[in-house]
Amino acid sequence: MSLNHLKTWPINQKIIASIAILIFSILVFGGIAGLFIQEEINVLENSSIGSRVTQLAQDHLDKKVNDVNFFKEIQQLIQDTDASILNKAFYVQIGYNLVVFMGLSLVFIKLFQVNELRSLTFKNRSVLLFLVAFVLAMNVPQIGNDATYINELIGLDALQEFFLGIDDLDDKKSLISQYILLLPNADRGWIITVIGLALIPAVGEELMFRGYLMNLFSQKSNYHNGIAISALIFAFVHFNFSNFFYYFVLGVVMGYVYYWGKNLFFPILIHFLNNALVVFGYLYSISNDVTDELNYSYTIMPYITLGLSLLIFYLNFKRNKHIIQ
């Protein structure tokens, strides 16, 4: 039976079907993955290092440990963890991203987009814009740090306990446990870790949220609304309300980078580097010659860089609009 008739559905039906299937898939596959990961977290927290996880979580909440010592403590916990439980959660997480975001986005594009994969845009291959995207990505940690502060200021972090029933200490313990399970260990080096935690999620999520959903909502209204709505969904489905505003801002930035840059590789690069910086920050922290805190003190430079980067993308878009449309 041909499914080509789905391409002729009204845009509203495509939106409703896409969101319903995405939410269903996240709940089902996310629930299954969550059970496996939570089982490993429970084993971890009930093991001999469980009390150390709790103490580190409390110390980090109380700001008794800086970023460097925090990651060094996690490295020690990784070394002291039973090797048999270290990798299951990592590969379950990879499977979840491959199925729900990468796989499902390609299915949506095949079913609902008239031009199928050609609906994705890879037209602009400007070396300058790749360099600008790289520089922009290097400034994301500072912007993310400030966005997290604003998130707390407006009370969005309180939604974490309201929706998920998780208080700050439990949230921090879960985060530390996930670091232990997902960050590099003796059996799984940093290259595999970067591929699993940074590259695969970046490709899958950008295919879904910018490549498919942003384009879909833009067809319904305009690209500004498409960017904003897809960014809201992007922030929501992370189910991390402590960083909700950060995910939303990141989604908006990558949306404009994609629309003005006319190449999905640009937001994929930014997303990948943003994820990879967590792993590289960890590796930097545990190196023997590092003793200073990772300092994200406030400076306006990342915002100047962000503004100039987006301006370059916009000017490139206006200049080459007739070529890359």
pLDDT band at 281 (very low <50, low <70, confident <90, very high): confident
Q: Which two tokens stand for residue 302?
A: 């990342």
Tens digit of each residue's pLDDT (9 = 90 or more) over 80-108: 888 777 888 899 999 999 999 999 999 99
Q: Look up the domain containing 24 and give its range.
A: 4-324
Instruction: Indicate the number of domains in the chain.
Output: 1
Across the chain, mean pLDDT equals 86
pLDDT score at 288: 57
Q: Give the predicted TM-score (pTM) of the model.
A: 0.89
The mean per-residue pLDDT over the stretch 152-156 comes to 78
Compute the distance between CA of residue 138 and CA of residue 133 in angstroms, rounded to an integer. 9
- DSSP class per residue in 47-105: STTHHHHHHHHHHHHTT-S-HHHHHHHHHHHHHTS-GGGSSHHHHHHHHHHIIIIIIHH
More confidently predicted of 296 and 63: 63
Beta bridge partners of 196: none
Say yes or no to pLDDT of 315 above 70. yes
Distance of CA 68 to the CA centre of its chain: 22
Q: Which residues contact 253 (CB under 8 A, 6 or more apart)?
A: 136, 270, 306, 310
Per-residue pLDDT, 230 = 96
Amino acid in position 295: N
Check residue 292 and give its pLDDT: 54
Q: How far is CA 84 from CA 90, 162, 168, 193, in A?
A: 12, 34, 29, 17
Weakest mean pLDDT among 28-37, 151-160, 237-246, 264-273 = 151-160
- Integer Cα distance of 268 and 193 in angstroms: 17
Q: What digits encode the pLDDT tens for the residues 183-226?
A: 888 888 889 999 999 999 999 999 999 999 999 999 888 999 99
Model confidence at 122, pLDDT cuts 50, 70, 90, reads: confident
Mean pLDDT for 105-129 is 84
Q: Is 70 exceeded by the pLDDT of residue 68?
A: yes
Which residue type, as a one-letter code, is found at position 318?
A: K
Pinpoint the alpha helices (H) of the chain. Answer: 11-45, 50-61, 67-79, 88-97, 104-112, 127-138, 140-153, 158-164, 168-182, 190-194, 200-206, 215-220, 223-236, 244-261, 265-286, 301-319, 321-324
Between 50 and 293, where is the model more confident?
50
Separation between Cα atoms, residue 230 and residue 255, nearest integer Å:
8
Integer Cα distance of 254 and 268 in angstroms:
8
